[in-house]
Structure 1
Amino acid sequence: MTAASYFTGSDEAGSAATLKDDERRERLAIAGLSLPALLLVAVCLIIPVGSLLALSFIGAQGNLSLENYQRLIDNKAYLAIFLTTFEISAVITLICMLLGYPLAYFITLLPPRAVGFAMLAIILPFWTSLLVRTYAWMVLLQKQGLVNSTLLKLGVIDEPIALLHNYAGTVIGMSHIMLPFLVLPLYGAMKAIDHDLIRAAANLGAGPIVRFWTVSFPLSLPGLGAGALIVFVLSLGFYVTPALLGGGKVTMVAMRIQKSVALYPNWGAASALAVVLLVVTALVLLLGLWIWRRNRGNRPVMS
């Protein structure tokens, strides 16, 4: 080894060591800046969830017990409630996808000024209380409400139909409330699509329908999947709208948790239900993350 190569190797080793030291200091600085946020998460999330988990193992006599979870296993009614919750969440997610995709696609075709008004119309319901919106649907869906009155005047129906305090009313109200949660991420994904790819497909002879299904739709799937996951997870824990529009005839997990708090002398039964719902929600999120990572590299590439 020559002297020049020796000193070159020493300089490279010193540079690598300096770079590692800089990276270590940068990580420590980032960790220090993140510490307040981590403490806030610990106080507002980890401690309450941990307390909930601990309460789920407290029996009716105040002792450590698995009786709350045993009750969930033995009582088949809890399984029916979970199935109803998943069914309603899936139906609402499907409806939001069918309504939200054309809406988001239409917004991307509008001029910039019109896009602002369209997005304002989508975000505007967030400025109104969830309880107020639910009561508004109760007024619209009752037998003498606007929906039945309009259908009667148009001759679509001969007598008012039951749209309130049942499955249909719950789905209608929740779909309206959840729709913006799908449109917003979907619109962001559609807006980020490179229009050069669409123009390239047109130059290659692809028609509008072919361009949509081979370019636009595949590239919008991440936004559609993110929006659908948000809608589904939020629907799993919904309480106010199904409690009011369902009229007690449609029972979801969140409603059953409230009834457990009122029925049993301690919060153990309700905590066990909440823990199971939390675990199921986490599994759904992990499944969505796994699907996204699996399909991340399968996007269309045009050469």
Structure 2
Amino acid sequence: MTRSLASLSSSLSFRRSSSARFYSPNASLALVTPLIAALLAGFLYPVARLIALSFSGGTLSHYRRIFTEPLHLDVLFSTIEVAFVVTVASLLLGFPVAYLMARLSRGLAMAVAACVFIPLWTSVLVRSYAWVVLLQRNGIINRLLIDTGVTEWPLKLIYTEGAVILAMTHVLMPFMILPIYSALRALPPDYVRAARNLGAGPIRAFVAVTLPLSLPGVFAGSVMCFVLALGFYITPALVGGPGSMLMATLIGQQTTVLLDWPFAAALSTVLLAVTLLFVLLFRRMLSLSKGLNSVY
């Protein structure tokens, strides 16, 4: 008995020593170093160069120009407004789709998911140009409205802010559906059944159980949609035209037409700061919602 305990103890000590050697800090550092190098080379260094370029001349003249000229402030606030409206529209349209997918059988849910995510395999340029074809003066929608007697003359649907919001919502809605579907799919059905057994109706069970537990997916989808909408370039440029300028199109104009790279870098830095600010705000809202869920 003593010999067996001694052999077991030596075996365990050998395993602990071999595990310690395998998971040594040096080995972990060697595994992480290529990832850190790739992050530094592919993200941090370009961002640092961008910020340094925005301070060319050693002054704040480019930032002063952004925050003192009404045109640039209007473009910044318009970008935030469009991104907010697109995020809300994607949420209102995407939540029912995700909820339906979560309640269907796995086979039907995969079929619906395929219909939702197949457009992601198509270029954003192609999808944006499709909206140009649909919304133009002689497009399908205007033709349908005229043929059905809704209007006698073609409506101005293209090159408006509404067209930009519509096209961007179509492009970004899958990024809202997927996180919400994942959160709803992970929700145990016993929770809803327990609420129903305790006397809650379908709406009450949804508001008290399903909606609060789906908030992490809602916030994740909202962050992705909002951040992507802030930096969208192709869709506003094609569908919105010159009259619907957002920050991305303004930055593109500065780099390709006016060749004012320092000012474009300052605009990009401001857009990056706004994006980080809203990401932190979303994280704060998510932590508050988790705290409320734990209380109730």
After TM superposition, the score normalised by the length of structure 1 is: 0.87
Partner of 1:267: 261
Partner of 1:36: 34
Equivalent residue runs for 1:10-49 within 5 Å: 26-49=24-47
Separation in 2 of the partners of 1:107 and 1:93?
Answer: 20
Local SS of the residue matching 2:151: coil
How many residue pairs end up in the alignment?
A: 281
Indicate which of 256, 273, 291 corresponds to 1:297.
291
Q: Which amino acid in 2 is paired with 1:56? A: S
Separation in 2 of the partners of 1:26 and 1:97?
Answer: 46
8 Å CA contact retained: 1:181, 1:230: yes
Local SS of the residue matching 1:297: helix
Partner of 1:131: 125
Deviations 1:210-257 (A, max 9, x none): 111111111111111110111011100111000110111101001111
Separation in 1 of the partners of 2:190 and 2:68?
Answer: 59
Equivalent residue runs for 1:1-303 within 5 Å: 26-58=24-56, 63-299=57-293
Q: Which amino acid in 2 is paired with 1:46? A: L
Local SS of the residue matching 1:298: helix
Displacement of 1:64 in angstroms is: 2.5
Aligned Cα RMSD in Å? 2.3
Change (3 A) 1:30 1:291: farther
- Structure 1, 179-188 or 65-74: larger mean CA deviation: 65-74
Displacement of 1:26 in angstroms is: 4.7
8 Å CA contact retained: 1:57, 1:64: yes
- Structure 1, 84-93 or 149-158: larger mean CA deviation: 149-158
Q: Percent identity?
A: 38
Local SS of the residue matching 1:160: coil
Displacement of 1:271 in angstroms is: 0.2
Separation in 2 of the partners of 1:290 and 1:284?
Answer: 10
Displacement of 1:261 in angstroms is: 1.8
Q: Which amino acid in 2 is paired with 1:35? A: T
Change (3 A) 1:234 1:197: same
8 Å CA contact retained: 1:218, 1:300: no
Partner of 1:5: none
Deviations 1:153-178 (A, max 9, x none): 33333332111011111111111001
Separation in 2 of the partners of 1:216 and 1:208?
Answer: 10
Separation in 2 of the partners of 1:196 and 1:271?
Answer: 53
Displacement of 1:273 in angstroms is: 0.3
Separation in 2 of the partners of 1:132 and 1:274?
Answer: 26
